[in-house]
Every structure is written in C-alpha cells, then in structure tokens.
Amino acid sequence: MTDLFARSILPAGSWNVASAADRITLDYEGRHRRRYRYRADAGLEFVLDLAQTTLLHDGDGLSLDDGRIVLVRAAPEALVAVTVDSVDALVKLAWHIGNRHLPAQLSGERILIRDDAVIVDMLRGLGAHVEKIIAPFTPERGAYAHAHGDHQAAAYPFVFVSSHEER
C-alpha cells in the first residue's frame, strides 16, 4: 500500500469543513509536529510531512496527495485556568510561567497551562486562583517560532517600528 501524505495546511476558515473526508482529533502535542504517521477518527491513514514543525489549529485542513482533506480538531485536555484579582498580578504570573518556558494560552482574564502540581503550588503561593478544567489547548507561539506559509503570518502579524526618525 502506498502512503498518503499531507504536505500542506488549509487554514481554519479558508475551506469548507463539510468537504472533509475524515477528521483527526489531537491534543496539543499531537498538533505540534513536522512529520508523523496518523490514523484519523474514521480510520484514514496518512503521513504528515511538513517542511518544519508546525502547530495545527482547530479547524485547519490537511490536504492529502489524492485531493482529500482531513479536518483537524483540538482535543480537550487537562488544564489549569489561572486567574488573579488584577491585571498587574496576571502579568506577573505570566512572567513566572514564561520564565519556566511553559506553554501557556493567554487572554486578558486568565492563563491556561497544562495541569502540573508543582507549578500549580507555585502559582497558588504567588496568590493565583487555580481551577482545573478540561478544554482544548492552543498556547502562544514562541518568539522565535517561524510562520508556516501565509496561515500563521496572517494570524500573527508583526509590525516592526523604528525608534529612530529618518533624517
């Protein structure tokens, strides 16, 4: 049997999910790959073969060599929702989490991290309120991460501003 390959990603929202031949439900680790052999939910087998390690997003499509598309779904997983009483305190907690190089999903109201007893104890000691939840996890990309094609470039635009005026 010849392997089917998925070498390109259709960004979420750019294609009709009703046209998907199958879907694959993956946790964060399973969606952060370059090359891996998968079996989709209904049994379709394929090899993900991307140019670089990429985080697949919920709703992305994996375009197979034969023209079919596999829908990517983010699986719910064990997380901790971290909150505090002020934005200043949330920023400080984000710094402590980032200083430990932990993947984190950030919003203005909370930080989501993987459930880790040692980290949870540290955060409680810093005044955090923690709640164990089950939810899909899509942490922020690292500062040195590279975009995959136009998909992530559009989702995470960067603007570089010079602090010096031209003379």
DSSP string, 86-150: SHHHHHHHHHHHHHTT---EE-SS-EEEE--HHHHHHHHHTT-EEEEEEE---PPPPTTPPP-HH
Confidence at 143, pLDDT banded by 50, 70, 90? low
State the chain's mean pLDDT as an integer: 87
| pLDDT of 149 above 60 | no
What is the helix (H) or strand (E) element at residue 152, kind and residue range?
helix 149-155
| pLDDT of 7 above 60 | yes
Of 20-24, 26-30, 33-37, 149-153, the least confident: 149-153
Give the pLDDT score at 114: 94
Q: In CATH, which of 2.170.130.10, 2.40.50.140, 2.60.260.20, 3.20.10.10 is domain 5-74?
A: 2.60.260.20
d(CA 126, CA 85): 12
Q: What is the pLDDT of residues 104-125, one digit of tens each?
A: 999 999 999 999 999 999 999 9
Residue 125 — φ and ψ, nearest 5°? -65, -25
Confidence at 91, pLDDT banded by 50, 70, 90? very high
Q: Give the domain ranges of the chain.
A: 5-74, 77-135
Q: What is the pLDDT of residues 124-141, one digit of tens each?
A: 999 999 999 999 998 887
**Percentage above 90 pLDDT, the chain:** 79
Q: What is the CATH number of domain 77-135?
A: 3.30.70.790
Model confidence, pTM: 0.74
Give the pLDDT score at 1: 59
